[in-house]
Amino acid sequence: MPTSRRSPSTRRRRSSRRRSSSTSRHAPRELPFVGPGERLWILDVPYGTQVEGASWHPAVKMHVHVGRTLPDHLAPYSPGPHTLGRFLENLHNPGSPAELPAPTDGFEPRQNQYEAADAIAARAEAGGRMFLLADEPGVGKTISAVLGASAVGDLRGAERVLVVADRPAAITIGHWCRTITALGDSGLEWVVITWDRLEKVAGHDWDVIIADEAHALRRTTTKRWKLWSRISGHTRSHDAAPFVIATTATPGHTPLELPYLAPAYAQAHGEPMTAWATAKEPANTFTSALERHGIGLEKGRYGATWTTDPVRRAEDLARVRSWLTDDEPAAMLHRAAPWGPVPISGMPVALTPVEREAYEAEWGEFCREMDLARRGRNTAKGRAALLRFRQKAGLLRVDSTVQWIAQQVEAERQVACSVEFVTTAADPITERLQDAGIEVATIFGRDRFDVEEQRLRFQTGKAKVCVFTTVASISLHAGEMLPGGQWASTAPRVGIFHQARFSGIAGRQVTGRTHRDHQVSPWHIAYAEDTVEEQVSKVMVERIAAASDTVGGDTEGLSGVAQLLGADWLPMASLTEGSA
């Protein structure tokens, strides 16, 4: 169905199709008594905050208020459209759902976003149950996914759409909700949550699910995976599962990290889900299926590993990609950014004699600790040594990073500074910039700052620098359309990695915060000259482009980094934990 010619009428709400509370599998128990003319108000009160008139209730696991109207002092805690709180409030007030805002006048998606929606709809119409939208950062996956979900809803008579977004919730939930409001809800009931709140929606049925930053599902041993498997109907038969739109620019490091794509692979091979996924042994079942279909796997210390043969790897990459792209209609779409790849280069820092002496001392201590950990096969000790060395090495270069940022600000550029550690990088860099009179937006540390407020300080130009730890799901590019009709400043953006990301996938996600939506933004990787950092940074520059492959282009770089650091005996996850 050609979404590019969809008339405005198809975006109007069809309130008659809303589900009543009776359709939920598990109706909440022991709700507060609601008298005639009263309403059960659900409130988004931050954890640890006490507000008069709002009480936390275990039945809904949120704060509630019962009354005819919502007191003015509680109004700021009233959940917005398409949020979990609004969904629960409507569920418990079936006779009077909250009003939804009208679609934004004049909002028109780009043609490439309509084309993506058409591809998603074609897959659903042919009986597919999953689509991978793997466009590069900044191409417009959010709008494409919303249009695609609306199209699937029209085709299948759907009623509910669940959107699972990445953190930070203060930014991502608002971004998705604004996009849905701007495009119109198409008569569907939308609920936007983050990955850490899956448990709150596990008791409800969903017709269409958008899994944003789906690479969050790489590991099947987590509670997140178990909840996802239940909510998405992962192990159900193809005709009994919701339709899933998985969006990510960086699907995974190896084919073994793609278990969330098992439903699409099973359909591509004409096989039942039992051949690709089981509830009890999801990893083993998926591994067996990959091996059965020709993927080169070997037995490793921590389970199955991908082959190290470069020729075989190239064949495997083409194979797993073809399973989705060669199916008819295709189950995947990957498009490069039309404004070109991100310009990225190394930025050597000359250490002073004192700094050099300190660096060499830290490197020597690290090598000794890593050698002891290797001989004792003490994985935890090896990981700890790696973490300490990276923190101490980065701390030695804080002053040079601050000086470079100050020069960029003086040249009337805005700077995005990516760090991995708070106490040894984010905090000292921020403090020294502020001491120099430079305003800094801070997006790091759990619950330390209002993330969206800080992002908007940077985007409007009030803060010329943004220091952040997050990898994905925030926009920091020039000229962005902001909430309320404002526009971001047009000052050119430049980025700096205070430390090289070991994962090219994580690095590519970070550069996509500013290099997006037709805005070109160069990035620089800072490193101490003539040290192991220089070698690691060169690997990152070489491998970051490979991360745009469907999967696997990053693994060679990870292996190279591990060898440089004497950490090739550790599980590969040790190098990428906390990264995308």
Same domain, 283 and 416: no
pLDDT for the residue numbered 103:
81
Tokens of 479: 């000229």
pLDDT for the residue numbered 431:
97
- Among 241, 246, 247, 215, residue whose Cα is nearest residue 229: 241
What is the SS3 assignment for 177? helix
Q: Is 473 left (phi over 0), alpha (psi -120 to 50) or beta?
A: left
In a domain, 68, yes or no: yes
**Which of the four pLDDT bands, split at 50, 70 and 90, describes residue 20?**
very low
In this structure, what CATH number is given to the domain that contains residue 514? 3.40.50.300
Q: Is pLDDT at 29 greater than 90 in this prediction?
A: no
Classify residue 356 by burial, with Cβ atoms within 10 Å: 0-12, 13-18, 19+: middle
Total-model pTM: 0.76
List pLDDT tens digits, range 48-82: 889 999 999 988 889 999 999 999 999 999 999 99
Same domain, 421 and 526: yes
In a domain, 350, yes or no: yes
What is the SS3 assignment for 38? coil
CB 432 within 8 A of CB 397: no
What is the mean predicted confidence (pLDDT) over 551-571? Answer: 58
- Among 16, 67, 74, residue whose Cα is nearest residue 44: 74
How far is Cα 545 from Cα 534, in angstroms, rounded to an integer?
A: 18
pLDDT for the residue numbered 501:
81
How far is Cα 276 from Cα 280, in angstroms, rounded to an integer?
A: 12
**Which of the four pLDDT bands, split at 50, 70 and 90, describes residue 5?**
very low
- The last residue of a domain, from among 29, 63, 92: 92
Same domain, 33 and 181: no
Q: Is pLDDT at 18 greater than 60 in this prediction?
A: no
Q: Is pLDDT at 577 greater than 60 in this prediction?
A: no
Q: Is pLDDT at 16 greater than 70 in this prediction?
A: no
Same domain, 415 and 545: yes
How far is Cα 580 from Cα 577, in angstroms, rounded to an integer?
A: 8
- Among 373, 404, 401, residue whose Cα is nearest residue 387: 373
**Which of the four pLDDT bands, split at 50, 70 and 90, describes residue 83?**
very high
What is the mean predicted confidence (pLDDT) over 228-250? Answer: 96
How far is Cα 71 from Cα 184, in angstroms, rounded to an integer?
A: 29
What is the mean predicted confidence (pLDDT) over 21-46? Answer: 74
- Among 262, 381, 254, 388, residue whose Cα is nearest residue 312: 254
Same domain, 528 and 549: yes
Q: Is pLDDT at 548 greater than 60 in this prediction?
A: no
Q: How far apart are the first and last CA of the chain?
A: 34
Q: Are strands 332-333 and 208-212 parallel, antiparallel or unpaired?
A: unpaired
Place of tokens 């939804």: 100
- The last residue of a domain, from among 298, 333, 368: 333
Residues in contact with 529: Cβ distance below 8 Å, sequence separation at least 6, in sequence order: 348, 349, 350, 351
DSSP per-residue string spanning 246-302? EE-S---SSGGG-GGGHHHHHHHTT--GGGT--SS-HHHHHHHHHHHTT--EEEETT
In a domain, 363, yes or no: no
166 vs 502 pLDDT, higher one: 166
Q: Is pLDDT at 1 greater than 90 in this prediction?
A: no
Average pLDDT of the residues of the chain: 87
**Which of the four pLDDT bands, split at 50, 70 and 90, describes residue 564?**
low
**Which of the four pLDDT bands, split at 50, 70 and 90, describes residue 195?**
very high
Same domain, 194 and 73: no
What is the SS3 assignment for 103? coil
Q: Is pLDDT at 133 greater than 90 in this prediction?
A: yes
Tokens of 572: 């590969």
Q: Is pLDDT at 21 greater than 50 in this prediction?
A: no
310 vs 281 pLDDT, higher one: 281
How far is Cα 372 from Cα 353, in angstroms, rounded to an integer?
A: 29
Sign of CA dihedral 199, 202, 206, 208: positive
Cα torsion 140, 146, 151, 155 to 10°: value is: 140
List pLDDT tens digits, range 481-517: 888 778 999 999 999 999 888 777 778 889 989 998 8
Cis peptide before 259 (omega within 30 of 0): no
What is the mean predicted confidence (pLDDT) over 334-361? Answer: 87
How far is Cα 180 from Cα 544, in angstroms, rounded to an integer?
A: 32
Neighbours of 492 (CB within 10 A): 16
Same domain, 307 and 205: yes
539 vs 324 pLDDT, higher one: 324
Tokens of 523: 């990035």
pLDDT for the residue numbered 294:
96
Q: Are strands 130-133 and 332-333 parallel, antiparallel or unpaired?
A: parallel
pLDDT for the residue numbered 397:
94
In a domain, 211, yes or no: yes
3-state secondary structure 527-579: EECCCHHHHHHHHHHHHHHHHHCCCCCCHHHHHHHHHHCCCCCCCCHHHHCCC
What is the mean predicted confidence (pLDDT) over 391-412? Answer: 93
Cα torsion 536, 538, 541, 544 to 10°: value is: -40
For 185, the domain range is 111-333
CB 495 within 8 A of CB 366: no
11 vs 336 pLDDT, higher one: 336
Same domain, 19 and 41: yes
Same domain, 252 and 313: yes
Q: How many domains does the chain have?
A: 3
Classify residue 271 by burial, with Cβ atoms within 10 Å: 0-12, 13-18, 19+: middle
Tokens of 241: 């599962």
Same domain, 328 and 403: no
In a domain, 512, yes or no: yes
pLDDT for the residue numbered 422:
95
Same domain, 411 and 283: no
pLDDT for the residue numbered 9:
35
Instruction: Give backbone dihedrals phi and psi of 303, rounded to 5 degrees, phi first.
Output: 110, -165
CB 129 within 8 A of CB 268: no
Q: Is pLDDT at 236 greater than 90 in this prediction?
A: yes
Measuring CA to CA, how many Å separate 93 from each of 7, 36, 61, 66, 158?
Answer: 32, 12, 17, 11, 21
In a domain, 17, yes or no: yes
**Which of the four pLDDT bands, split at 50, 70 and 90, describes residue 118?**
very high
- Among 478, 563, 474, 458, residue whose Cα is nearest residue 520: 478
Place of tokens 């990053």: 554
How far is Cα 429 from Cα 339, in angstroms, rounded to an integer?
A: 31
In a domain, 382, yes or no: no
Same domain, 311 and 353: no
Q: Is pLDDT at 523 greater than 80 in this prediction?
A: yes
In this structure, what CATH number is given to the domain that contains residue 304? 3.40.50.10810
Tokens of 295: 């993927």
How far is Cα 460 from Cα 380, in angstroms, rounded to an integer?
A: 43
What is the mean predicted confidence (pLDDT) over 230-243? Answer: 97
- The last residue of a domain, from among 92, 124, 156: 92
In a domain, 376, yes or no: no
CB 175 within 8 A of CB 142: yes
Q: Is pLDDT at 251 greater than 60 in this prediction?
A: yes
Measuring CA to CA, how many Å separate 80 from each of 15, 75, 430?
Answer: 18, 11, 33
